[in-house]
Protein backbone atom coordinates (compact mmCIF):
# COMPACT_ATOMS: atom_id res chain seq x y z
CA UNK A 1 0.00 0.00 0.00
CA UNK A 2 2.79 2.44 0.90
CA UNK A 3 4.50 1.63 -2.38
CA UNK A 4 1.33 2.36 -4.39
CA UNK A 5 0.61 5.51 -2.43
CA UNK A 6 4.13 6.81 -3.03
CA UNK A 7 3.87 6.02 -6.72
CA UNK A 8 0.49 7.75 -7.13
CA UNK A 9 1.56 10.80 -5.15
CA UNK A 10 4.84 11.09 -7.05
CA UNK A 11 2.94 11.05 -10.35
CA UNK A 12 0.56 13.76 -9.13
CA UNK A 13 3.48 15.86 -7.89
CA UNK A 14 5.26 15.54 -11.23
CA UNK A 15 2.12 16.53 -13.11
CA UNK A 16 1.47 19.56 -10.91
CA UNK A 17 5.13 20.61 -11.14
CA UNK A 18 5.11 20.40 -14.91
CA UNK A 19 1.90 22.42 -15.06
CA UNK A 20 3.49 25.09 -12.91
CA UNK A 21 6.59 25.36 -15.08
CA UNK A 22 8.48 22.87 -17.28
CA UNK A 23 11.67 22.79 -15.18
CA UNK A 24 10.05 23.02 -11.75
CA UNK A 25 11.30 20.36 -9.31
CA UNK A 26 9.39 19.39 -6.17
CA UNK A 27 10.81 17.34 -3.28
CA UNK A 28 8.61 15.00 -1.28
CA UNK A 29 8.98 14.90 2.50
CA UNK A 30 7.19 11.87 3.94
CA UNK A 31 5.69 12.98 7.25
CA UNK A 32 6.02 9.94 9.48
CA UNK A 33 4.68 11.39 12.76
CA UNK A 34 1.68 9.02 12.90
CA UNK A 35 3.52 5.95 11.75
CA UNK A 36 5.91 3.31 13.10
CA UNK A 37 9.49 2.56 12.16
CA UNK A 38 8.55 -0.51 10.09
CA UNK A 39 6.39 1.59 7.77
CA UNK A 40 9.15 4.18 7.53
CA UNK A 41 11.66 1.48 6.59
CA UNK A 42 9.19 0.19 4.01
CA UNK A 43 8.93 3.64 2.42
CA UNK A 44 12.72 4.02 2.54
CA UNK A 45 13.09 0.68 0.75
CA UNK A 46 10.82 2.08 -2.00
CA UNK A 47 13.31 4.90 -2.51
CA UNK A 48 11.71 7.57 -0.30
CA UNK A 49 14.67 9.47 1.18
CA UNK A 50 13.21 12.30 3.27
CA UNK A 51 11.12 12.01 6.43
CA UNK A 52 9.66 14.58 8.79
CA UNK A 53 8.60 14.51 12.43
CA UNK A 54 7.03 17.17 14.63
CA UNK A 55 8.20 16.00 18.06
CA UNK A 56 11.84 15.75 19.13
CA UNK A 57 11.41 12.50 21.08
CA UNK A 58 9.93 10.75 18.03
CA UNK A 59 12.41 12.32 15.66
CA UNK A 60 15.25 11.03 17.84
CA UNK A 61 13.93 7.49 18.08
CA UNK A 62 13.22 7.20 14.37
CA UNK A 63 16.27 9.05 13.02
CA UNK A 64 18.60 6.91 15.14
CA UNK A 65 16.90 3.80 13.72
CA UNK A 66 17.33 5.06 10.17
CA UNK A 67 20.23 7.53 10.07
CA UNK A 68 20.73 6.99 6.34
CA UNK A 69 17.49 8.85 5.61
CA UNK A 70 17.34 12.66 5.51
CA UNK A 71 15.38 14.00 8.47
CA UNK A 72 13.39 17.21 8.90
CA UNK A 73 11.93 18.69 12.07
CA UNK A 74 8.56 20.23 11.11
CA UNK A 75 6.91 21.10 14.42
CA UNK A 76 7.13 23.91 16.96
CA UNK A 77 10.36 23.53 18.95
CA UNK A 78 9.99 24.26 22.66
CA UNK A 79 13.09 25.90 24.10
CA UNK A 80 13.61 23.00 26.52
CA UNK A 81 14.01 20.71 23.48
CA UNK A 82 16.81 22.71 21.83
CA UNK A 83 19.55 20.55 23.32
CA UNK A 84 17.76 17.39 22.27
CA UNK A 85 17.45 18.55 18.68
CA UNK A 86 21.04 19.76 18.45
CA UNK A 87 22.42 16.57 19.99
CA UNK A 88 20.57 14.64 17.32
CA UNK A 89 21.85 17.06 14.69
CA UNK A 90 25.46 16.40 15.79
CA UNK A 91 24.80 12.68 15.62
CA UNK A 92 22.86 12.19 12.38
CA UNK A 93 22.90 15.63 10.73
CA UNK A 94 19.36 17.00 10.34
CA UNK A 95 18.80 18.11 6.77
CA UNK A 96 16.38 20.88 7.68
CA UNK A 97 14.64 22.51 10.63
CA UNK A 98 11.49 23.70 8.86
CA UNK A 99 9.72 25.44 11.69
CA UNK A 100 11.84 28.30 12.98
CA UNK A 101 9.02 30.50 14.26
CA UNK A 102 10.41 33.24 16.51
CA UNK A 103 13.38 35.56 16.99
CA UNK A 104 13.80 34.30 20.52
CA UNK A 105 14.20 30.73 19.31
CA UNK A 106 16.61 31.84 16.56
CA UNK A 107 18.83 33.61 19.09
CA UNK A 108 18.84 30.64 21.47
CA UNK A 109 19.69 28.24 18.66
CA UNK A 110 22.46 30.57 17.52
CA UNK A 111 24.06 30.55 20.99
CA UNK A 112 24.11 26.77 21.15
CA UNK A 113 25.32 26.34 17.56
CA UNK A 114 28.07 28.89 17.98
CA UNK A 115 29.30 27.08 21.09
CA UNK A 116 29.31 23.78 19.22
CA UNK A 117 30.73 25.39 16.08
CA UNK A 118 27.98 23.86 13.95
CA UNK A 119 25.44 25.22 11.49
CA UNK A 120 21.79 24.31 10.98
CA UNK A 121 19.71 24.65 7.81
CA UNK A 122 16.37 26.30 8.61
CA UNK A 123 13.16 27.54 7.08
CA UNK A 124 11.24 30.43 8.58
CA UNK A 125 7.66 29.42 9.31
CA UNK A 126 5.12 31.96 8.12
CA UNK A 127 1.69 32.05 9.71
CA UNK A 128 0.21 33.26 6.44
CA UNK A 129 -3.26 31.98 7.34
CA UNK A 130 -3.11 34.16 10.48
CA UNK A 131 -4.50 31.35 12.63
CA UNK A 132 -4.02 31.64 16.37
CA UNK A 133 -3.51 27.90 16.71
CA UNK A 134 -0.43 28.13 14.48
CA UNK A 135 3.00 29.45 15.24
CA UNK A 136 5.16 31.38 12.83
CA UNK A 137 5.92 34.92 11.76
CA UNK A 138 3.07 37.07 10.50
CA UNK A 139 3.44 38.39 6.98
CA UNK A 140 4.28 41.88 8.18
CA UNK A 141 6.97 40.59 10.55
CA UNK A 142 8.73 38.29 8.16
CA UNK A 143 11.06 40.53 6.16
CA UNK A 144 12.50 42.15 9.25
CA UNK A 145 12.86 38.80 10.99
CA UNK A 146 14.75 37.47 7.97
CA UNK A 147 17.13 40.43 8.07
CA UNK A 148 17.73 40.28 11.81
CA UNK A 149 18.32 36.52 11.83
CA UNK A 150 20.60 36.67 8.78
CA UNK A 151 22.66 39.37 10.45
CA UNK A 152 22.78 38.10 14.04
CA UNK A 153 22.57 34.35 13.67
CA UNK A 154 25.40 33.32 11.38
CA UNK A 155 25.17 29.65 12.32
CA UNK A 156 21.57 29.44 11.10
CA UNK A 157 21.35 29.00 7.34
CA UNK A 158 17.96 30.31 6.26
CA UNK A 159 17.20 28.39 3.07
CA UNK A 160 13.56 29.28 2.65
CA UNK A 161 10.04 29.58 3.98
CA UNK A 162 7.45 27.14 5.24
CA UNK A 163 3.73 27.56 5.78
CA UNK A 164 0.71 25.46 6.63
CA UNK A 165 -2.29 26.17 4.41
CA UNK A 166 -5.35 27.73 6.01
CA UNK A 167 -7.38 25.15 7.93
CA UNK A 168 -10.65 25.66 6.03
CA UNK A 169 -12.68 24.00 3.27
CA UNK A 170 -12.65 26.95 0.90
CA UNK A 171 -9.88 26.31 -1.67
CA UNK A 172 -9.65 30.02 -2.49
CA UNK A 173 -8.80 30.83 1.14
CA UNK A 174 -6.19 28.05 1.28
CA UNK A 175 -4.70 29.32 -1.97
CA UNK A 176 -4.48 32.84 -0.59
CA UNK A 177 -2.31 31.61 2.29
CA UNK A 178 0.04 29.95 -0.23
CA UNK A 179 0.16 33.01 -2.49
CA UNK A 180 1.11 35.29 0.41
CA UNK A 181 3.98 33.00 1.33
CA UNK A 182 5.16 32.81 -2.28
CA UNK A 183 5.07 36.61 -2.52
CA UNK A 184 7.33 36.89 0.54
CA UNK A 185 9.64 34.22 -0.90
CA UNK A 186 9.94 36.23 -4.14
CA UNK A 187 10.37 39.50 -2.29
CA UNK A 188 13.35 38.15 -0.33
CA UNK A 189 14.67 36.78 -3.59
CA UNK A 190 17.68 34.81 -2.31
CA UNK A 191 15.85 31.78 -0.90
CA UNK A 192 15.67 28.35 -2.53
CA UNK A 193 13.18 26.26 -0.52
CA UNK A 194 9.43 26.91 -0.40
CA UNK A 195 7.76 24.26 1.78
CA UNK A 196 3.99 24.30 1.29
CA UNK A 197 1.35 21.61 0.89
CA UNK A 198 0.16 18.56 2.82
CA UNK A 199 -2.01 15.53 1.89
CA UNK A 200 -5.13 17.57 1.24
CA UNK A 201 -3.66 20.54 -0.61
CA UNK A 202 -0.26 19.72 -2.12
CA UNK A 203 -1.34 20.10 -5.74
CA UNK A 204 -2.73 23.55 -4.99
CA UNK A 205 0.51 24.43 -3.17
CA UNK A 206 2.62 23.35 -6.17
CA UNK A 207 0.38 25.39 -8.46
CA UNK A 208 1.47 28.33 -6.30
CA UNK A 209 5.19 27.64 -6.46
CA UNK A 210 5.88 25.14 -3.67
CA UNK A 211 9.03 23.05 -4.20
CA UNK A 212 8.82 20.93 -1.03
CA UNK A 213 5.61 19.17 -0.02
CA UNK A 214 5.10 17.53 3.38
CA UNK A 215 2.80 14.54 3.04
CA UNK A 216 1.82 12.15 5.82
CA UNK A 217 -1.60 10.52 5.81
CA UNK A 218 -1.83 10.10 2.02
CA UNK A 219 1.36 7.98 2.09
CA UNK A 220 0.91 5.97 5.27
CA UNK A 221 -2.87 5.42 5.35
CA UNK A 222 -3.69 1.73 5.44
C1 LIG B 1 1.31 16.55 10.12
C2 LIG B 1 1.93 17.58 9.30
C3 LIG B 1 1.97 17.44 7.90
C4 LIG B 1 1.36 16.27 7.14
O5 LIG B 1 -0.03 16.26 7.24
P6 LIG B 1 -0.92 15.22 6.40
O7 LIG B 1 -2.24 15.88 6.32
O8 LIG B 1 -0.93 13.95 7.18
O9 LIG B 1 -0.29 15.06 5.06
C10 LIG B 1 2.61 18.45 7.19
N11 LIG B 1 3.17 19.51 7.80
C12 LIG B 1 3.15 19.67 9.13
C13 LIG B 1 3.79 20.88 9.74
C14 LIG B 1 2.52 18.72 9.92
O15 LIG B 1 2.49 18.89 11.25
Task: Look at the chain and report how many structural domains it folds into.
Answer: 1
Grade residue 87 by pLDDT with cuts at 50, 70 and 90: very high
The pLDDT of residue 221 is 87
Grade residue 193 by pLDDT with cuts at 50, 70 and 90: very high
The pTM of this model reads 0.97
- Residue 198: CB within 6 Å of ligand 1? yes
In this structure, are residues 2 and 39 in contact, taking their beta carbons and an 8 Å threshold? yes
- Residue 216: CB within 6 Å of ligand 1? yes
pLDDT digits (tens, 9 = 90+) for 1-40: 999 999 999 999 999 999 999 999 999 999 999 999 999 9
DSSP class per residue in 174-204: HHHHHHHHHHHHHHH-S--EEE---TTTHHH
Inform me whether the pLDDT recorded for 132 exceeds 80. Answer: yes
pLDDT digits (tens, 9 = 90+) for 48-66: 999 999 999 999 999 999 9
Give the residue numbers spanning the domain of 43.
2-220
CATH number at residue 112: 3.20.20.10
In this structure, are residues 74 and 63 in contact, taking their beta carbons and an 8 Å threshold? no
Average pLDDT, the chain: 97
pLDDT digits (tens, 9 = 90+) for 139-190: 999 999 999 999 999 999 999 999 999 999 999 999 999 999 999 999 999 9
Cα–Cα dist 109/125, whole Å = 15
- Residue 155: CB within 6 Å of ligand 1? no
Residue located nearest, by CA, to atom 11 of ligand 1: 214
Grade residue 42 by pLDDT with cuts at 50, 70 and 90: very high
Residues contacting 211, CB < 8 A, separation 6+: 24, 25, 26, 27, 192, 193, 194, 195
Residue located nearest, by CA, to atom 12 of ligand 1: 74
Cα–Cα dist 142/188, whole Å = 10
Q: Distance from the CA of 33 to the center of ligand 1, in angstroms?
A: 8
Cα–Cα dist 4/10, whole Å = 10
Which ligand 1 atom is at minimum distance from the Cα of 202?
9
Amino acid sequence: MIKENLKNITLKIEKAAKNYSPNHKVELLAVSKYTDIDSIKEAFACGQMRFGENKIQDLKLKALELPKAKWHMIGHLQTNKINGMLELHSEVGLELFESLDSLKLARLLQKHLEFKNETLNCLLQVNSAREESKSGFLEEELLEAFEVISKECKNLKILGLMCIGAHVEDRAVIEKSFKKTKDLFDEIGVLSVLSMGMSSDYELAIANGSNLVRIGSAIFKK
